Structure 1
């Protein structure tokens, strides 16, 4: 850490941290169901008389041992979401939470596997309900939501094709991208090329999780085999500087989730997280929460922690937000409106 950064950290006071926490924020990497407040899921489970008590700790928060168990708990929590109305209620809860943290634009991963079982007609019904709730939240809170359809990697390439068909059939101003999530240690990126090609032909923008658990080669495979323009996480690229430079040269944006990475043990602590190194080497980095209640974080927390750890001041974080706005999959009119909100008020 250079002397200038040390001094910035030393000079930060509570007033500056308060301003940083309250900056308007652009968030590109959230999983819709993973944003569900535990109290919402517990309440819905009680309404439906579904016992998922093992998914929670005594204090009511989500309980899991490791990443694979997290995926199991995530799917258990998702199991109480049965109808389009359930997902509309979830949308309301999620966007209220995001707006409270100063998020003005959010992209979220949505899986037709959880919304209609991959059937296009059923998916349309769920999507309509979510969009209606998002429109109400936009009017109430000023937050804009857009959806990225998500093949789930550990469900396999065949299901990914059905998911991509759902994406292609509903591509437009609201469904703006395709982005694979799930267990990165299952299969190869190239196994899902057909699904990504289908989405690309439908005009959708592309991202995929890579470099969260596997190393730099996985990041290169994502770029070369799926031809994505953004990568979810991508942080293990730091172990090969040629890969880092490739990301910078090709202007691939990373959807970085520092709190998630530290909580899951991808890196032992925030001061050892490579987000600042990647930024300084010219990679386009953004900040997101991933699955915030699962990882006990919020966008306010992320910003304050980055400020305290790396000396990121209002100017740096505003620049990060402008990078995120530039990489967002929305239309240009929406992007221009976001960028206007990011300008300091006079």
Structure 2
């Protein structure tokens, strides 16, 4: 029997898609306000409805059609952070895409970004949660679009906007097709991560490391299929942003007890725990912890260690990191 996990345990979440964290009721409300008919993307009980990962991408983009102004994103920020704070999250990073905020135009993107950042600062004061942004190129939108996204990121790097990443359909294009975008972001001083090893096998993780020179991997769990790669990840200190509930919900693994996160951790790979797109996958970070505790016998000490690794891997300034570590250690 594993010990009970305190829901109030302070948590760090590094892998959260901003629009994918939008509560369904929030999106339905915006659709009603704007007279947009997206009823087909919801289940009868009000959740998001989709058949598989690729249909999920379509539903995700349909939900995003309701987000049309900086004010919409300000409201979204508060809604997302309220949910995170209720879940005990004290620090979060979220993937943002100029493709959904101003259609890649730098001037429009600045307006959206300002609205998001102002709401994040409000939430930090009222909810005690800190948010940082990672600009994310959408893989299936193609390499050319990723260049525009990288330029937006480079132009707006700040204390709030600290990273650059790649998400979307892993089966389209190759990581080397995005090297220009990642070189641009790196030269601007942005920290780097990329989705790999979810739908692509271990070779996709190697490709992300070799061609994009990232310090973190989004998901990365299929590295377990190549133990030499697992050892490389451990030796290099590459951090995996693992989202077990997402992987199980989408069928990458049949159940939590079959998920490789425990084996990766046993081989000294630094793993973190996140929810990915929580309302889409009917999960919360507290639920993730409780299910992992049942599956692997993890205790609060295990989760504290994982959260320390997450804080140390966060794309934030050192003062913020020190403050978050103090909270995790119960000294703040």
State the TM-score, normalized to the length of structure 1: 0.95
Shift of 1:172: 1.7
Alignment partner of 1:251 out of 237, 242, 245: 237
CA distance in 2, matches of 1:344, 1:314: 13
After superposition, the C-alpha distances for 1:233-264 in whole angstroms (9 at most, x for unaligned) are 00000001001011111110000000000000
User: 5+ residue gaps in structure 2?
Assistant: none
Equivalent residue runs for 1:226-305 within 5 Å: 226-305=212-291
Partner of 2:40: 54
Partner of 1:208: 194
SS in 1 for 2:205: helix
User: 5+ residue gaps in structure 1?
Assistant: 1-9
Alignment partner of 2:176 out of 177, 190, 203: 190
Equivalent residue runs for 1:1-346 within 5 Å: 10=1, 12=2, 16-19=3-6, 21-344=7-330
SS in 2 for 1:295: coil
Shift of 1:345: 5.9
Q: Structure 1 289/102 Cα, relative in aligned 2: closer, same or farther at 3 Å?
A: same
CA contact (8 A) 2:238 2:269 kept: yes
CA distance in 2, matches of 1:313, 1:22: 14
Shift of 1:18: 4.4
SS in 2 for 1:294: coil
SS in 2 for 1:108: strand
After superposition, the C-alpha distances for 1:199-240 in whole angstroms (9 at most, x for unaligned) are 000000000000000111110011111000000000000001
Shift of 1:344: 3.7
CA distance in 2, matches of 1:163, 1:94: 23
SS in 1 for 2:140: helix
CA contact (8 A) 2:5 2:300 kept: no
Pairs aligned (count): 332
After superposition, the C-alpha distances for 1:33-85 in whole angstroms (9 at most, x for unaligned) are 00000000000100000000010000000000000000000000011000000
CA distance in 2, matches of 1:109, 1:270: 25
SS in 1 for 2:4: helix
Shift of 1:283: 0.4
After superposition, the C-alpha distances for 1:269-303 in whole angstroms (9 at most, x for unaligned) are 00000000000101000000000000000011011
Shift of 1:178: 0.2
State the TM-score, normalized to the length of structure 2: 0.99
CA distance in 2, matches of 1:185, 1:240: 19
CA distance in 2, matches of 1:54, 1:115: 24
